[in-house]
């Protein structure tokens, strides 16, 4: 049996759980999970808070920021071999034939991407189980190579928080010497800062917490704006080329659109629960645009990991044993983590 942590009913806590190993298909790679990051999506899913979009099927084994070692490759696998350090992110399958898959954006697969957990599972029926588990079996086309020079605990969050911020920054174009704003400085925001800095932008963090200023500067920001200080905000009005909005709490988007200059863009990657109220004038004056972004395709995720290897970029993590995962969820809600939890999956075996 595979040892994991699952929530077995709505409102339940994560607790030890066992399931049958998956039968392997010819293109499958079996991975011994070493670290799994904790994403906000994990918490929303186990609590069934996104029931209107994707209801949770219980038991639910979350986790889509996975790093581990390949323990077995099946007959048709060509990209990986036993012992390779690999990653698995938010997706484990798609039809691989539709126009979106063909253009390397499998996350928008017309047949629906198969997510790493709480999605229909082709192996066992039921739903997919994620990385809060000692083992995961994934089609080689959705397995990523992880640079060996990076700390695997800090690599895990790159598989979701990393690609979520990397992809929109790349899509916007060359940000060298451009003024780039990062809204929010948590799991996503701190990665946005690292990437924007690595691409040589002038990086400015917007935060409501003066206590985060020092860390933001240390991790690569050139400036920090305390967004509740209207004088400080006014000084920067109309001066940004691109703003990455990682805030998932309610916030006044119009004041940030006002920070953009001509043809500036604000891209949302955080997902506030309630609809945003947007003034048309905030976009019309200055020909500004507002867009969204969802993770990245497999090709781009590999590009991101290789970039991280070259530039020595990982997430700042607090490593925890899996027995502390419920406590970690409570702390994550209060933003009491710098800046992502990474579960040491070896702790499962100490049960």
Interface positions with Zn ion (CB under 5 A): 39, 41, 94-95, 98, 101, 109, 160
Shortest distance, position 224 Cβ to Zn ion, whole Å? 25
Instruction: Find all residues with CB under 8 Å of 128, minimum gap 6, and list them.
Output: 92, 114, 115, 116, 117, 118, 119, 120, 121
Rounded to whole angstroms, how far apart are CA atoms 241 and 337? 30
| Residue 195 or 240 with smaller CB distance to Zn ion | 195
Beta bridge partners of 124: none
Q: Give the angle 336-150-145 at the CA atoms, nearest 5°.
A: 110
Shortest distance, position 152 Cβ to Zn ion, whole Å? 17
| Residue 40 or 179 with smaller CB distance to Zn ion | 40
The phi, psi pair for 210, rounded to 5°, reads -55, -25
| Residue 39 or 169 with smaller CB distance to Zn ion | 39
Shortest distance, position 37 Cβ to Zn ion, whole Å? 8
Instruction: Find all residues with CB under 8 Å of 280, minimum gap 6, and list them.
Output: none
How many other C-beta atoms are found inside a 10 Å radius of the C-beta of residue 209? Answer: 16
Shortest distance, position 285 Cβ to Zn ion, whole Å? 35
Shortest distance, position 39 Cβ to Zn ion, whole Å? 3
SS3 string of 122-150? CCCCCECCCCCECEEEEEHHHCEECCCCC
Burial class (CB in 10 A: 0-12, 13-18, 19+), 6: buried
Shortest distance, position 121 Cβ to Zn ion, whole Å? 17
| Residue 157 or 220 with smaller CB distance to Zn ion | 157
| Residue 160 or 243 with smaller CB distance to Zn ion | 160
| Residue 189 or 258 with smaller CB distance to Zn ion | 189
Helix (H) or strand (E) segment spanning residue 303: helix 298-311
């Amino acid at each position: 049996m595979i040892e994991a942590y699952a929530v077995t009913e709505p409102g339940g806590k994560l607790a030890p759980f066992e399931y049958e190993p998956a039968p392997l298909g010819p293109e499958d790679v079996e991975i011994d999970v070493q670290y799994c990051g904790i994403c906000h999506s994990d918490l929303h899913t186990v609590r069934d808070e996104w029931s209107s979009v994707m209801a949770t099927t219980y038991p639910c084994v979350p986790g889509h920021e996975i790093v581990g070692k390949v323990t077995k490759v099946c007959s048709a696998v060509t990209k990986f071999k036993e012992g390779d350090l690999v990653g698995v992110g938010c997706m484990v399958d798609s039809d691989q034939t539709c126009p979106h898959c063909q253009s390397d954006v499998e996350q928008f697969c017309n047949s629906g991407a198969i997510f790493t957990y709480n999605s229909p599972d082709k192996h066992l029926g039921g739903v997919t189980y994620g990385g809060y588990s000692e083992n995961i079996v994934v089609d080689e086309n959705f397995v990523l190579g992880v640079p060996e020079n990076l700390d695997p605990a800090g690599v895990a969050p790159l598989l979701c928080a990393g690609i979520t911020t990397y992809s929109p920054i790349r899509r916007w174009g060359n940000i060298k010497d451009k003024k780039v704003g990062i809204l929010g400085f948590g799991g996503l925001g701190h990665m946005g800062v690292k990437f924007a800095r690595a691409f040589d932008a002038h990086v400015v963090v917007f935060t409501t917490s003066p206590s985060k200023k020092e860390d933001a500067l240390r991790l690569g920001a050139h400036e920090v704006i305390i967004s509740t200080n209207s004088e400080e905000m006014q000084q920067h009005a109309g001066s940004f080329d691109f703003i990455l909005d990682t805030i998932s709490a309610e916030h006044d988007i119009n004041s940030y659109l006002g920070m953009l200059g001509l043809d500036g863009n604000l891209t949302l990657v955080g997902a506030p629960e309630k609809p945003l109220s947007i003034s048309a004038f905030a976009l019309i004056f200055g020909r500004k645009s507002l867009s969204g972004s969802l993770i990245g395709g497999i090709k781009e995720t590999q590009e991101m990991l290789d970039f991280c290897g070259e530039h020595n970029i990982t997430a700042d993590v607090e490593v925890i044993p899996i027995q502390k995962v419920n406590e970690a969820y409570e702390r994550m809600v209060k933003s009491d983590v710098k800046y992502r939890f990474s579960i040491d999956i070896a702790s499962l075996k100490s049960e």
